[in-house]
Amino acid sequence: MAENGTGIGAAVKRKEDMRFITGAGRYTDDIDQAGQACAVFLRSPHARATIGGIDTGAALQVPGVVAVYTGADLAADGIGDLPCGWLVKSKDGSDMIQPPHPPLAVERVNYVGEPYGLVIADSLQAARDGAEAVVADFDDLPAVVGVATADQADQLHESVPNNQCYDWELGDKVATDAAFANADHVASLDIVNNRLIPNAMEPRAAVGDYDAASGVYTLHTTSQNPHLERLVLAAFVQVAPESRLRVVSPDVGGGFGSKIFVYAEETAVIWAAGKLRRAVKWRAERSESFLADAHGRDHVTKAELALSSDGTFLGLRVKTIANMGAYLSTFASSVPTYLYGTLMAGQYKTPAIYVEVRAMFTNTAPVDAYRGAGRPEATYVVERLVETAARDLSMDLAEIRRRNFIQPEDFPYATPVALTYDTGDYEASLDKALRHIDYQGFGARRAASEANGNRRGIGFSSYIEACGLAPSQVALSLGAGVGLFESAEVRVNVTGSVTVITGSHSHGQGHETTFAQVVSDRLGIPLDDVEVVHGDTARSDYGLGTYGSRSIAVGGSALIRATDKIIAKGKKIVAHNFETTEDNIDFTDGIFAEHESNRSMAFAEVAFAAYVPANFPLDELEPGLSEKAFYDPGNFTYPAGTHICEVEIDGETGVPTIAAFVAVDDFGHVINPMIVEGQVHGGLCQGIGQALLEHGVYDDAGQLVTGSYMDYCMPRADDVPSFTVDTTVTPCTHNPLGVKGCGEAGAIGATAAVMNAVTDALGVKSLPMPATPETVWKALGSAG
Amino acid sequence: MYQFNYRKASSLEHAADLQANAEDGVYLAGGMTLIPTLKQRLAAPSDVIDVGGLDGLRGIDVGATVRVGALTAHAEVAASAEVRGAIPALSDLAEGIGDAHVRNRGTIGGSVANSDPAADYPAAVVGLGATVHTDRRSIVGDDFFTDLFETALDEGEIITSVEFPVPAQAAYAKFPNPASRYAIVGVMVAEVDDAVRVGVTGAGPCAFRSAELEAALAGGLSVSALDGVSVSSGDLNSDLHASAEYRAHLVVVMARRAVAQLT
């Protein structure tokens, strides 16, 4: 692997950044179509109400207003519900209950901000005026806000008794109960995993257009996976067949999961464009993002770990109530189940595990995947519990982990919760992290803090994640509604430059650089000769987009398959030219050379020959040099590592400050270490944000209290320390690049490390997140 | 935003005249509060009267007192060597307001006139015993802030400058809201004309002087004078970020930290 140059392993500067930092990016809101109208959504001011009627008369009189549509208009046109793409079954074998989810509410609203109509006008100003002129007759009902008691509260959906979507289980209950019966010690914790609001820098937006001549709909939108968007809009919502529906995700400014899903707004906008035969544009205001982007996390959990007296883990029992919000968002059901329960083994040989998850509906915004999606929640349970056990048994934090780690010789390792880890070396990451943090010196640092009237604590998090979503066979057998492979196309142009078309989607990750590095390295051509195209259903066959740290592991593997086909075809062309057979041709560093001769052709020459096919034996060798591949992985990938956080707490104010943070991650092979480090930094900020700063809060009436940056605390540069980031490497055993993925690790590992450190500093067993200054100050008082 | 008439004032008299003739006029200075409010359609004035061009209201005059023109941006106060020489605490306070954008646009007159309970300048006005000069009169700092977003200003009255006495010593300590970075509590401790003054912002409905802390420090500005001192939480704000009890605690801690800067 090259450390220098531009190939795999090189810290190449990102090709896309020049346009981003000079304002030349092309985001959805930068796109204007001829004759475009503007849309403003009507949003429920109530958490729960019935809609008596909607009077649009006055709005239609507002100058410039073109149309006012409500849920009834969509229903009359046969526009279907927004579906959830993952079927989870309850313990008793019954299917989860999916309540109707019309894009625009029809008879009732179930969360503040739920859209129940839209006003379309010649200008945004007119659309706003029109929206204010709509009079909706709401009959307010008491809101169901708390997830823990939602089963006792008013029933929100006719089809959902006790507001319960499903009651799911995983693992061996009998074996786990037996392990607890035989345990010397049981460590237990009550955990609330706080609700987070994603806050991508670019708000969601959509521009719908309809071409009456061809009957083709074009939707530009802020999606992490435009093909899925097209599939859902075509097959389920039934806007238009896929052949007449094009979805484009141009530059997208961050997603963190929140832009995976198919939302009401783009659905209504593309439908309205067809209805009006006119382009329609909508862009969320930040307040709308807070109210109506899918939120993340929001679990209430009781967790117990059974141990022998020497600290060996015997069994783990987890009981979680997960908040789905008011409706099932696109992948909501899978997050607290297959992306959560399956991770409960962590890095440990816990022999018996049993997980129960009840998913509940409440009068809050829908909750779905948010950076890490289930795996941060699982890591938080396991790693907070491990540290609690260590404190209970007065064991060293490193020692209790070493005692229970899955060892390198144990791989492949089948956990009791349905996954088989392919490889790893957990002690290697732990050891490196201990050196970086100077674990030996912690006692002295704590004493120094205490001498100044402050507190100091240290916390670990040895996380694991299942990434590279996913083997389709596994996902489909577990209820997924779509396959989870990825596609790639490598088009070699006549003069040797290469256009790469990927079904992955970059919304900040740097695909245009990383994927170009892979192709440049494989084909031995300059990095600048490779252009990466993504995000347009008209340009790539199919794709499943970017989430779950899957781009390089799945999309990158598809890319390798496609470049392998290019090389094979190139060999055929060269063999034909040299009048030999392709097994006599080698390909190295961009040169096709014949064995045991001095004859060779450069890559560009072969490209030219492919498109100027003089004397090709056309029955055996087609002209052209363009290949496609679809790659479906054999397993998930399993990035893992140890994060260690050291926190100092101001003894007077309670303000927690992160004194040091070390992250040692095993991502397998790394294509661009600079980009990977950036991904880790971003993830750590979000993980730290959850622990110390961020909290989506609804009041008892279901009003969002944290609806702006005045109250929702986003992490800023001065909230985090200068991170120490390092890696270890055990290459993934089942993909051609040996890569695992790095996009979510920071957010998965960091939160538990921070809270372990804060509780250690305070000498308390648990503390609610976020650990705000007042929360910590109160704990300082109670901890004496 | 709703439609409004934009009026640019060419003089104080012109501004007052525009205001008197408007159905529902508002003055625009730096716009740091007004513009976001308008953008969110939370206000619908008939007329926005821009006083930003009145250059006579701009500038800093340091002599026996520090007189800051109403339109002077926070960044100008923060960067002024003369202000730092006379009242370093005022420089520190101005330097800690908002972010760079706010400091470059926001004005002292706008901040004070708004009486935002979490703004920084009000702590200086009451803590240093400033005088607020208007186009009609001069108002003693202690009397200026009357309630949440309420001041002693009459309808249409325009602040022209804020005049601070030069204290023997003064220091400001702020506990920022983690989300907004406004003051949850900000405390200005000063010794002015042989008397100790303690101005508090963020904690109550508007900036106020703390009688408890002034009494405790009357014997001299020392940290130990605040040992065991507490302030009542009865009239203090309580919100998602800090309860009244926590604010009361922070008032004392910030006072102690301000005093510690002096000793």
- Per-residue pLDDT reduced to its tens digit, A682-704: 999 999 999 999 999 999 999 99
**DSSP percent split of chain B into helix, strand, coil, nearest 5:** 35, 25, 40
Q: Which residues of A touch B180 (CB under 8 A)?
A: 709-711
The 10s digit of each residue's pLDDT in B11-59 is: 999 999 999 999 999 999 999 999 999 999 999 999 999 999 999 999 9
CB contact under 8 A, A772 and B241: yes
Does residue A1 register a pLDDT over 90?
no
| For A781, nearest residue in chain B (alpha carbons) | B246
CB contact under 8 A, A709 and B240: no
Note the pLDDT of residue A784. Answer: 43
Note the pLDDT of residue A469. Answer: 85
Mean pLDDT of A295-315: 98
Cβ of residue A710 closer than 8 Å to a chain B Cβ: yes
Q: In what order do the strands lie in the sheet with A135-140?
A: A108-109, A49-55, A135-140
Q: Which residues of A touch B249 (CB under 8 A)?
A: 777
Mean pLDDT of A525-536: 96
Q: How many CB pairs under 8 A join A and B?
A: 42
CA distance A781 to A773: 12
Q: Considering only the beta carbons, identify the residue of A132, A709, A774 that sits closest to B179.
A: A709
CB contact under 8 A, A719 and B250: no
Distance from CA of B135 to the nearest CA of A (A): 34
CB contact under 8 A, B179 and A652: no
Note the pLDDT of residue A4. Answer: 58
Note the pLDDT of residue A714. Answer: 97
Radius of gyration (Cα) for chain B, nearest Å? 18
Note the pLDDT of residue A478. Answer: 87
Is A579 exposed, middle or buried, given 0-12, 13-18 or 19+ CB atoms closer than 10 A? exposed
β-strands A640-649, A656-666 pairing:
antiparallel
| For B182, nearest residue in chain A (alpha carbons) | A710
Question: B14: how many CB neighbours lie within 10 A of its CB?
Answer: 15
Within this chain, domains A299-470+635-782 and A485-631 share the same CATH topology? yes
Q: How far is CA A171 from CA A19, A353, A472, A523, A701, in A?
A: 49, 5, 22, 46, 38
CATH topology of domain A31-141+201-254+259-292: Aldehyde Oxidoreductase; domain 3 (3.90.1170)
Note the pLDDT of residue A2. Answer: 47
Q: Which long-range contacts (CB under 8 A, 24 or more apart) does A775-780 make?
A: A775/A654, A776/A649, A776/A654, A776/A655, A776/A656, A777/A653, A777/A654, A777/B246, A777/B249, A778/A654, A778/B246, A779/A654, A780/A455, A780/A649, A780/A651, A780/A654
The 10s digit of each residue's pLDDT in A717-773 is: 999 999 999 999 999 999 999 999 999 999 999 999 999 999 999 999 999 999 999
| For A124, nearest residue in chain B (alpha carbons) | B1
CB contact under 8 A, B180 and A772: no
Reply yes or no: is the peptide bond before residue A770 cis, omega within 30 of 0: yes
CB contact under 8 A, B175 and A653: yes
Note the pLDDT of residue A578. Answer: 94
The domains found in chain B, sorted by start residue, are: 5-165 (3.30.465.10), 169-262 (3.30.390.50)
Domain A485-631 classified CATH 3.30.365.10? yes
| For A713, nearest residue in chain B (alpha carbons) | B179
Dump the DSSP string for A636-671.
-B--EEEEEEEEEE-TTT--EEEEEEEEEEE-BS-S
Identify residues of B whose CB sits under 8 angstroms from chain A CBs.
1, 40-41, 175, 177-180, 182, 240-243, 246, 249-250, 253, 256
The pTM score is 0.97
Does residue A3 register a pLDDT over 80?
no
Interface probe for B, chosen from A713, A720, A769 (most Cβ of B below 10 Å), is A713
Mean pLDDT of A610-616: 92
Chain-wide mean pLDDT for chain A? 96
Cβ of residue A782 closer than 8 Å to a chain B Cβ: no
Cβ of residue A712 closer than 8 Å to a chain B Cβ: yes
The 10s digit of each residue's pLDDT in A552-580 is: 999 999 999 999 999 999 999 999 999 99
Cβ of residue A124 closer than 8 Å to a chain B Cβ: no
Q: Considering only the beta carbons, identify the residue of B40, B41, B246 that sits closest to A774.
A: B246
CB contact under 8 A, B240 and A773: no
Mean pLDDT of A612-636: 93
Note the pLDDT of residue B79. Answer: 98
> CB–CB of A221/A229 below 8 Å?
yes
Q: Which residues pair with B209 in a beta bridge?
A: B199
Domain A299-470+635-782 classified CATH 3.30.365.10? yes
Phi and psi (nearest 5°) for A509?
-75, -20
CB contact under 8 A, A777 and B249: yes
Percent of chain A with pLDDT over 70: 99
Closest CA to A399 of A427, A373, A361, A420: A427
> CB–CB of A462/A428 below 8 Å?
no
| For B256, nearest residue in chain A (alpha carbons) | A652
The 10s digit of each residue's pLDDT in A40-95 is: 999 999 999 999 999 999 999 999 999 999 999 999 999 999 999 999 999 999 99
Distance from CA of A62 to the nearest CA of B (A): 14
Note the pLDDT of residue B263. Answer: 76
Domain ranges of chain A: 31-141+201-254+259-292, 299-470+635-782, 485-631
CB contact under 8 A, A128 and B41: yes
Write out the two tokens for A191.
């955990």
Distance from CA of A712 to the nearest CA of B (A): 6
Spell out the residues 6+ positions from residue B251 whose beta carbon is closer than 8 angstroms to its own. B185, B187, B200, B203, B210, B213, B231, B236
Q: Which residues of B touch A778 (CB under 8 A)?
A: 246
Mean pLDDT of A776-782: 92
> CB–CB of A140/A48 below 8 Å?
yes
Q: Which residues pair with A167 in a beta bridge?
A: A358
Cβ of residue A128 closer than 8 Å to a chain B Cβ: yes
Interface probe for A, chosen from B37, B246, B247 (most Cβ of A below 10 Å), is B246
Write out the two tokens for A424.
């790893």
Where chain B has pLDDT below 50, the residues are none
Note the pLDDT of residue A783. Answer: 52
CB contact under 8 A, B240 and A705: yes
> CB–CB of A724/A663 below 8 Å?
yes
Q: Considering only the beta carbons, identify the residue of B40, B178, B242 that sits closest to A693.
A: B178
